[in-house]
Amino acid sequence: MLTLASDFGSPYPAAMKGVLRSHGVADLVDVAHDLPQGDPRAAAFWLRFVLPEFPPAVHLVVVDPGVGTDRAAICVRAGDHALVGPDNGCLLPPARALTGDDEVDVFAVDGGDPRSSTFHGRDVFAPAAAAVHEAGVDRIDDLDGFTRVDDYDDYDLPSAWIETATAAGEVLVVDDFGNSVTNVPGEFLDGHVGESVVVETAAGREAVPVVETFAEVPKHDPLVTVGSHGFVECDVNQGRGDEAFDLAPGRSVTFSFEESVAATVPTF
C-alpha cells in the first residue's frame, strides 16, 4: 500500500498518481490533499493522528514550502512503514507515532535532475516512494540514491505548560469545522466534565462548559472538549470555534479552573 498526503488540492495529486502507476504501484490511498497550505507543522500533527491507523505502508507526504531550494529529500523508516517527502520536519512526528518511540532511520534521497523546480512531488518524491514500495521497507539501505544520514530537520510538536488547575498552550491546527485544536493534552480535563473552565485568549476570558459531546450545549454555544486526537479543543456546537474564541494556529490559549468568574470580565 502507498498513501498520499499533500496540500496540493487538485489536480496536482493526479500527476503524482500517474508517476506511481507508471512505476507499477497499484494500491494507492489518498489521506488528504487539503492539508493546510505551506504548513509542515500542521501536516505533522494531522499525519501523526491519521497514519497509525494504517497497516504497513509507504507514505508519500508533500507539504513543501521550500520546494526548489537546497532543502533535502528524505525517506524515514519507522518500523514497517516508510515516509517519503521534504526534509522540513513534517515527517518525524508521524514517524515516531508509527513506532511508538524515537527509533527511526532517516535516509537522504538523491532526487536527480527534476523536470521542474516547483513540482518535486511528481519529479522527486513520487519516484522515490515508488522505489521504496517496490523494494520493500526493509531494503531501503540497498536502494541506489538512498543514503543513511544523522543530520536532518527535526522537531517535536510544542508542549503545553501545565500546573495543577492551569494549562497554557497554543493552537496547533483549526479543522474544517472551525474546531481549534490546542497542544494541551486531554488528560488536563480528566474529572472536570460538567464543570466550567476559564478560557483566556487575546480576545478576553470566559467560563466555558467542559463536555464530552457537542450536543451537551445549545446550538451555537461555545464549549471545551477533548478531540479524537487526544488534545483539548475550543469549539462551538454547530458553529466555528476559531471565530467564537478568536483563535488561529499559533495563537496562545490558557485554561484554568476557578470557582467563579467575575461578571465584569470581557467575553468573546
31-81 residue pLDDT tens: 999 999 999 999 999 999 999 999 999 999 999 999 999 999 999 999 999
CA-nearest of 128, 91, 87, 114 to 2 is 128
Residue 111 has pLDDT above 50, yes or no: yes
Phi-psi region of 178 (alpha: psi -120 to 50; beta: other; left: phi over 0): left
Structure confidence at residue 259 (pLDDT) = 54
Residue 268 has pLDDT above 80, yes or no: no
For residue 191, the one-letter residue type is G
CA 39 – CA 131 distance, rounded (Å): 27
pLDDT averaged over the chain?
Answer: 94
| 215 neighbors 221 (Cβ within 8 angstroms) | no
CA 241 – CA 246 distance, rounded (Å): 8
Residue listed under C-alpha cell 519507522? 78
